[in-house]
Amino acid sequence: MNGDKNGKAVRRLVVKFGGSSLADGLSIARAIDSVIKKAKEGVQVVVVVSAMGKTTDFLIETAMQACRGNLSEEMLDDILAMGERTSARIFSAGLKARGQKSLYLDPAGSNWPILTDDKFNDAKPILPVCEEMIRRNVEPLLENGLVVVFPGFIGKTRNGRITTIGRGGSDITALILARALHADQVILVTDVEGIMTADPKIIKNPKKLDEITMDTLVGLADSGTKFIHKKALRYKSPHIDIKVISNSSGDLDSEGTIIRGSFPSMIIVDSHPKPAFTVTIVGEKASESFETLTRVLEEIKKAELPLLGMSINHNSLILYLPMNEPDGLLEALHSIVLGDERAVALAVRKNLAFIRVRGVGLEETPGVISRITNALNSSGINIYGIFTITSSVELFVDLENREKAIRLIKEALETNNKNDNER
């Protein structure tokens, strides 16, 4: 809860409308009505708008054709920003036409708070500056009863040049505003009723999830599911929930999917507290024996051991498990191997360390795997398994090299991040 100018506790929302929610005049009118309803309840509302419908794609195509491809990234950003700026003007005008006090902020104004670096087309917000300017320039407007409308996706450099934050930039704008203003909730209004158990374009009759944690959400985002841009997730405050709802109802109180928690915005390198070991089952067609795989997993379940990782190829099955295995587990696994003609032998390697490197979008960071492997290789540290899963890289090294490996990985990734920031 926040307070108005008289100190009375009030709710504060940041509501982001995607392009599909602003596709035409009727859609925009429905969105405006939903905001006015909350404002009349005494809720302080910040609105973030995307460009209408497919405006951004249209602007890109038109500009590239008109300039015959000879268009700088800075010029393109200035053109693309007009999609969101136009949406903000229309939305704010609609609010005023219905008697609601409103103000839209524009990057041309001195009170524009989203400042970025100068990497055009994919600019990075300068968070401390953004948050201080948001509190200084936006909070007083809310306390005076205005609905503040922001064009999402847009930034401005310190010397006043227009930038764009890239795809998903409107989500980033909304989450930065929410953090700075200590909003009670972020509402993302989309063309779906929430986050589903599967993509409805692929799976028939998926179910809506009532809520989901950030750790789980990142896995869905990695799979290509489109509901909130993965790059935006790193800006979510752990204290502010996100609600994803459909634009069809025209009601911000609609039930949707609540996103709780957060994911580390920086890269974190840590290790499993227990040592690990591997069980390797080999055979010319070992991977084709689903019955054997099922029996192996049943034995692991019976032993109440978590499966840290698994690798399957044509002639081997490798299981990664935490040490101290229960008595009889390896004997039971060996018996399974003896009973399958497609499996030949079983091998065990003990005293391994399980190291995990985490960060949103990590697997899309160019060269991150090579930086990790090169750092370890240069010090003679062997890698016994490596996986890229849901914005994390997981690997196994000799237990005696655990602390050294963690230090080398941190140094390799921090050096790269520093170089990127200096460019």
Global pTM reads 0.81
Q: Which residues lie across from 393 on neighbouring strands? A: 357, 388
Tokens of 354: 């399980």
b/e string for 399-419 if b means 16 or more Cβ within 10 A?
Answer: bebbeebbebbeebbeebeee
Is residue 174 within 8 Å of 128, Cβ to Cβ? no
Strands 12-17 and 185-190: parallel
d(CA 33, CA 127): 32
The tens-digit pLDDT sequence of the chain (423 residues) is 676 666 667 899 999 999 999 999 999 999 999 999 999 999 999 999 999 999 999 999 999 999 998 999 999 999 999 999 999 999 999 999 999 999 999 999 999 999 999 999 999 999 999 999 999 999 999 999 999 999 999 999 999 999 999 878 999 999 999 999 999 999 999 988 898 888 777 888 889 999 998 878 876 765 545 567 777 888 999 999 999 999 998 999 999 999 998 876 677 888 988 899 999 998 877 767 788 888 999 999 999 889 988 888 878 889 999 987 778 899 999 999 998 888 889 999 999 999 998 876 565 566 788 889 999 999 999 999 998 766 788 899 999 999 999 999 999 887 655 444 433
Q: What is the pLDDT of residue 422?
A: 39
Beta strands in 120-161 (DSSP E): 147-151, 154-156
- Determine how β-strand 44-49 pairs with β-strand 211-213: unpaired
Strand, helix or coil for residue 51: coil
Q: Which residue matches tokens 């081997």?
A: 316
CA 345 from chain center: how many Å?
42
Residue 102 burial (10 A CB sphere; 0-12, 13-18, 19+): buried
Yes or no: say if 271 and 355 are a contact pair by the CB < 8 Å rule.
Answer: yes
Domains detected in the chain: 2-260 (3.40.1160.10), 268-422 (3.30.2130.10)
Q: For the sheet with 185-190, list strands across it.
A: 102-104, 147-151, 44-49, 12-17, 185-190, 241-246, 257-260, 211-213
CB-facing half-sphere around the CA of 244: CA atoms within 13 A: 22
At residue 8, the pLDDT reads 67
At 299, is the secondary structure helix, strand, or coil? helix
Q: Are 288 and 317 in contact (CB under 8 A)?
A: no
| Residue 135: DSSP 8-state | H
User: Taking a C-beta distance cutoff of 8 angstroms, is the pair 318, 289 a contact?
Assistant: no
